[in-house]
């Protein structure tokens, strides 16, 4: 009877064991030294929201560029909150916060811009109103100067004087003769010469066919202590018994008018030419130095 090796039988009802060769092994499902399952590393948080949020903060407060800051802030907020569904928190909370603050800065920038624009409009309106008021005031002063009445009396050739008014007035009740000088309170002197015939050039304006032309010389002397602006000096004329307006003639020799500043102790001389009816026997010349000096009248024989 031969004996063969038989493997021991496990007890009834017990688990069957398999011979272990090379050391104990354990089923991975029960733990032990088997391979382990590790969680995936969290994804890198995007830095775009942070960059956009910083730019939004800087640009939001700049006037007229606030809208760019608002758009960048909104994008930064959206990008910073976009990862909440994956890991339970925002991808970049700092960028999202900066984006929200950038949107607030954009609103502040919009308020600043509207305020600046409103101030600019108000300043423009104020300047326009001041210019209009100044022009209206100058026109009123000119009209008053033209209608002002003085009390001066001519006392002989070259010695006519005027008195009263702000700086002197003349030619109201009395008129000056050719060559007389009107002297104002501030020592401004105006002299008008006698009228003499004038031949207009071929290209002269203000000439009426059949009429005659006469020229007069107006001298403004500043004998005062302050400079005088001669730009506003006006010379008008009327001719004949009917007082018809004598048009001023402009050509290459006459019609330029006064210009520039007359220093104390200096004079300025201008020749005017007027177109008069052929039958006129006299010429009335009225000179107004400026708004603060009344008009002076000379009666000249033709």
pLDDT of 275-288, one tens digit each? 999 999 999 999 99
Angle between helices 66-81 and 93-147 (to 10 degrees): 170
**Whole-model pTM over 0.95:** no
Output b/e per residue, 170-192; b: 16+ Cβ within 10 A.
bbbebbbebbbbbbbbbbbbbbb
CA distance 289 to 145: 9
216 with 300: CB under 8 angstroms?
yes
Average pLDDT for residues 166-179, to the nearest whole number?
65
CB 219 within 8 A of CB 190: yes
The mean per-residue pLDDT over the stretch 241-245 comes to 90
For residue 48, name the pLDDT band (cuts at 50, 70, 90): confident
Whole-number mean pLDDT of the chain?
75
Asked whether the beta carbons of 212 and 276 are under 8 A apart, the reply is yes
Residue 128: CB partners within 8 Å, gap ≥ 6?
Answer: none
Whole-number pLDDT of residue 90: 58
Which of 108-117, 166-175, 256-265 is the least confident region? 166-175
Rg of the chain over CA atoms, in angstroms? 52
C-alpha–C-alpha distance, residues 147 and 159, integer Å: 24
Dump pLDDT digits (tens) for 53-79. Answer: 788 778 777 877 878 877 887 887 787
Please give, one letter per residue, the 3-state secondary structure of the chain: CCCCCCCCCCCCCCCCCCCCCCCCCCCHHHCCCCCCCCCCCCCCCCCHHHHHHHHHHHHHCCCCCHHHHHHHHHHHHHHHHCCHHHHCCCCCHHHHHHHHHHHHHHHHHHHHHHHHHHHHHHHHHHHHHHHHHHHHHHHHHHHHHHHCCCCCECCCCCCCECCCCCCCCCCCCCCECCCCEEECCCCEEEEECCCEECCCCCCCECCCCCCEEEEEEEEEEECCCCCEEHHHCEEEEEECCCCEECEECECCCCCCCCCCEECCCCEEEEEEEEEECCCCCEEEEEEECECCECCEEEEEEC
- Could you tell me whether strands 181-183 and 247-248 are parallel, antiparallel, or unpaired per DSSP bridges? unpaired
pLDDT above 50 for 154: no
Give yes or no for a contact between 108 and 56, defined as CB atoms under 8 angstroms apart: no
pLDDT value for 105: 83
pLDDT tens-digit readout, 174-188:
689 999 999 999 999
**C-alpha neighbours within 13 Å on the C-beta side of residue 296:** 37
Structure tokens given for 119: 């101030």
């Amino acid at each position: 009877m031969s004996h063969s090796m038989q493997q021991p039988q496990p007890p009834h009802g017990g688990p069957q064991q398999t011979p272990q060769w090379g050391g104990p092994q354990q089923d991975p499902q029960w733990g032990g030294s088997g391979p382990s399952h590790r969680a995936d590393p969290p994804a890198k948080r995007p830095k775009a929201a942070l960059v956009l949020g910083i730019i939004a903060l800087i640009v939001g407060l700049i006037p007229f560029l606030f809208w760019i800051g608002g758009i960048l802030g909104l994008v930064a907020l959206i990008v910073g909150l976009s990862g909440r569904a994956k890991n339970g928190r925002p991808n970049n909370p700092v960028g999202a916060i900066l984006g929200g603050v950038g949107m607030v800065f954009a609103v502040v920038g919009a308020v600043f811009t509207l305020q600046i624009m409103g101030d600019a409009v108000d300043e423009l309106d104020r300047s326009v109103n001041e210019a209009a008021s100044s022009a209206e005031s100058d026109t009123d002063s000119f009209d008053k100067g033209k209608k002002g009445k003085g009390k001066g009396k001519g006392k002989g050739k070259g010695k006519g004087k005027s008195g009263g008014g702000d700086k002197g007035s003349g030619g109201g009740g009395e008129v000056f003769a050719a060559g007389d000088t009107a002297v104002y309170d501030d020592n401004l002197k105006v002299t008008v010469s006698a009228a003499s015939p004038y031949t207009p050039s071929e290209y002269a304006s203000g000439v009426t066919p059949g009429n005659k032309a006469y020229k007069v010389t107006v001298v403004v002397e500043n004998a005062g202590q302050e400079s005088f602006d001669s730009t506003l000096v006006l010379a008008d004329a009327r001719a004949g018994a009917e007082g018809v307006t004598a048009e001023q003639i402009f050509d290459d020799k006459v019609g330029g008018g006064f210009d520039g500043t007359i220093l104390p102790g200096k004079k300025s001389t201008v020749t005017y030419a007027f177109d008069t009816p052929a039958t006129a026997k006299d010429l009335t010349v009225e000179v107004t130095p400026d708004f603060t000096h009344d008009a002076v009248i000379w009666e000249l024989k033709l």
